[in-house]
Amino acid sequence: MHCDLTNPAANGECQAIANSNFGKPVSAASADPELLRGWGLRNYNWEFSTGVQHEVFPRVSVDIGYFRRWFGNFQVVDNLVVTPSDFQEYSIVAPVDPRLPDGGGYTVPGLYDIRPEAFGRPGNYLIQLSDNFGKQIEHWNGFDFNSSARMSNGVMLQGGVSTGRTTTDDCDVVSQIGRTGFGSALSGFTASPSDGPSPLYCHVDTLWLTQVKLIGSYTVPRIDVQIAGTFQNRPGPQLAANYNAPFSVYGPSLGRVVSGGNLNSTVSVNLIEPGSMFGERLNVLDLRFNKIVRAGATRLSVGVDVYNATNSSTVLSQNNNYAAWQVPTAIVTPRFAKFNVTFDF
């Protein structure tokens, strides 16, 4: 390789080093003094809930609940040596794919790359509250609808529906310090120069995520056999489509290779809005059969539990990298049984 690797600037065949202070005993981050002392500066979350329960028939009740949770005092990391003007905007065209929204082929705008003249500047990071740059929110709203019935013939039924959605918005902050500015002074942060002040997905309203759960039991008289079952239906895994766009895809818009890269460099772009696509819903039925044998003060219980009775093969997680998109990485455990014996005396 014809270049001097000890020189952090571009020379010979080598591009500039992303951080010219790499390997040097230099602290690049400091905290805003206003963040270190005072009242009400820590991260927080509040939750409010209310509900109503009513007996509609003897031994039959329904209840409805509303829940709201919100977060505040977000911390951000501002790189003081760059501004939004140090980044260049570009876009890419998503691949044509029937699995993507509208079959793909759409433009993904609002992508940014740091300009070559600003690339490699030693970072000077200031950790502070996002409120210094504008409004940042994260809210969750949810509803519960449940019912319970305990019949005189020994039948017990319970079930309900829960649904909720999350709203996040950091557009004010992103427009001023970029998405690379988010992090934590304790957990560390990544100061990638490629994101910049991108408004892409800065406001997200997830879909309403609904789950249904049912449980029931019945003791067969005379023969003392308990039969019980549970059923759940809930959303599948949230999907992303992280696409490594080659130069042939991003180059026509950007007009050059990404700073610090070459013609083989790619940029990673999520082709779908977070919280907008989910995998196959999970449906699982579990059953229990239990025989009770009584002899004076002692009791013997012999039973079998059958999990995933319908032998569902629903995908629990899948690959979010577009090169192997939606390839399953885990599925629900196949049907299996567990035998149990309990002796009480």
The fraction of the chain above a pLDDT of 90, given in percent, is: 63
- 121 pLDDT band, cuts 50/70/90, is confident
Q: Return the SS3 of 284.
A: strand
- 18 pLDDT band, cuts 50/70/90, is low
Lowest mean pLDDT among 13-22, 108-117, 249-258, 275-284: 13-22
Q: Specify the long-range contacts of residues 189-193, CB closer than 8 Å, at least 24 apart.
A: 189/29, 189/77, 189/125, 191/19, 191/28, 191/77, 191/79, 191/123, 191/125, 193/18, 193/82, 193/113, 193/114, 193/118, 193/119, 193/259, 193/260
User: Which two tokens mark 294?
Assistant: 């009584």
Q: Which residues contact 255 (CB under 8 A, 6 or more apart)?
A: 90
Q: Return the SS3 of 302.
A: strand
The fraction of the chain above a pLDDT of 70, given in percent, is: 90
Q: Span 176-198, mean pLDDT? A: 55
Report d(CA 150, CA 90) in Å as an integer. Answer: 62
Lowest mean pLDDT among 18-32, 89-103, 292-306: 18-32
Q: Give, in degrees to the nearest 5, the angle at Cα 165 between 158 and 188.
A: 120
The pLDDT tens digits of the residues spanning 201-249 come to 999 999 999 999 999 999 988 888 999 999 999 999 999 999 999 999 9
Lowest mean pLDDT among 192-206, 245-259, 311-325: 192-206
Tell me which residue of 173, 165, 175, 236 sits closest to 205, measured CA to CA: 165
In this predicted structure, what is the pLDDT of residue 294?
81
Q: Which residues contact 188 (CB under 8 A, 6 or more apart)?
A: none
Q: Which residues on adjacent β-strands are paired with residue 230?
A: 215, 286
CA atoms within 13 A on the CB side of 24: 11
Strand positions, DSSP E, the chain: 29-31, 44-57, 60-72, 75-79, 87-93, 107-114, 125-129, 137-150, 156-169, 203-205, 209-220, 225-234, 242-245, 267-270, 282-295, 298-307, 315-318, 328-331, 336-344
Report d(CA 239, CA 99) in Å as an integer. Answer: 11
- Quote the pTM value: 0.79
The pLDDT tens digits of the residues spanning 165-182 come to 999 999 999 998 887 544
Report d(CA 23, CA 25) in Å as an integer. Answer: 7
The DSSP bridge pattern shows strands 225-234 and 209-220 to be antiparallel
Task: Give the distance from CA 61 to its chain's centroid.
Answer: 35
Q: How many residues does the chain have?
A: 345
- 187 pLDDT band, cuts 50/70/90, is very low
Q: Alpha helices, DSSP H only, in the chain?
A: 33-36, 171-177, 247-254
User: Which two tokens mark 149?
Assistant: 């019935």
User: Which two tokens mark 11?
Assistant: 């020379």
Q: Which residue has the higher pLDDT, 278 or 344?
A: 278
The pLDDT tens digits of the residues spanning 61-84 come to 999 999 999 999 998 888 888 888
User: Which two tokens mark 227?
Assistant: 């039969």
